[in-house]
Structure 1
Amino acid sequence: MGIDRAVWASSATDLWATPQDFFDTLNAEFGFELDVCATDENAKCARYFTATNDGLAQEWRGVCWMNPPYGRVIGDWMRKAYESAQAGATVVCLVPSRTDTRWWHDYAMKGEIRYVRGRLKFGGSKNSAPFPCAVVIFQPVTEARAA
């Protein structure tokens, strides 16, 4: 049974579980090692951070997957993703395409942006999300990429 339509159209939740097939396609490309923002039920990697161990307070290394809460704290997660890439991590972020927001301009636009065609169906829901999404990729700057 999917999430009630009224919940999808409201701000009642800011947690949107990543569709498995969508993740699998990106995982085949990137080979994720760490899910930085998960629950025990929806973690996409063997290594993951939950609210209990606070992913924002942890060091992100390697190739990281991030599907953050889509509420007011999303800017904090995007800043952490960007800063982690500056420190050497690759962070691939699934976020709502909110091109009018401060966090989008401050962080998303510093990464590679891939707009998602259509609307994703999160968490096995029968209904599509009421918002468009994008994948933002932050990669460490290497000498080869900088040249």
Structure 2
Amino acid sequence: MNAGLMFSSETDMWATPQDFFDRLNIIFRFNLDVCALPDNAKCEHYFTPDMDGLAQPWGGVCWMNPPYGRGIGKWVEKAYRSAKDNGATVVCLLPARVDTRWWHDFCAKGEIHFVKGRLKFGAAKDNAPFPNAVVVFRPTLSDVFI
């Protein structure tokens, strides 16, 4: 992926850097990649665009690097609701778009960890032109007992 493509709207799919995922997987032990392509899936179990991850139930410990286009808010809401309503833990790699509605409505309610520097996605020659954050949604005691 070249820098020109990163600034264009030709794609909204950004393959997760393997070493970045591996470090998170040591901590979380993911069992499901909720939005992947067969050639970049990070877990044995994954949903492809044809499977429509938004229409599937999410459970266990999920990895989510969603398409970064206009529909990203739907993915973030699904991650939030899957944790709150279904008891899933969903770890999301997201562009740090702190000025958006979806960020305030959902990410602000999760655990936010800003990524230092800029990631290099997939086979890209250059780093991404945007900052990222890892946002974790998981059940809380108030979800269970209150």
Distance 1:4 1:120 in 2: 14
3-state SS in 2 of match to 1:52: helix
- Does the 8 A contact of 2:3 with 2:125 survive in 1? no
Identity of aligned residues (%): 63
Distance 1:136 1:146 in 2: 24
Unaligned runs of 5+ in 2: none
AA of the residue aligned to 1:96: P
Runs of 4+ displaced beyond 4 Å: none
Distance 1:9 1:57 in 2: 29
Question: Partner residue of 1:110?
Answer: 109
Question: Partner residue of 2:88?
Answer: 89
Q: Once the two structures are superposed, what CA deviation does each residue of 1:88-109 show, in whole Å capped at 9, x if it has no partner?
A: 0000000000000000001110
Q: Report the TM-score when normalising by structure 1.
A: 0.94
Q: Report the TM-score when normalising by structure 2.
A: 0.95
Question: Partner residue of 1:34?
Answer: 32
Unaligned runs of 5+ in 1: none
Count of residues in correspondence between the two structures: 145
AA of the residue aligned to 1:20: Q
- Does the 8 A contact of 2:2 with 2:124 survive in 1? no
How far apart are 1:5 and its partner, in Å? 2.0
How far apart are 1:11 and its partner, in Å? 2.2
Question: Partner residue of 1:68?
Answer: 66
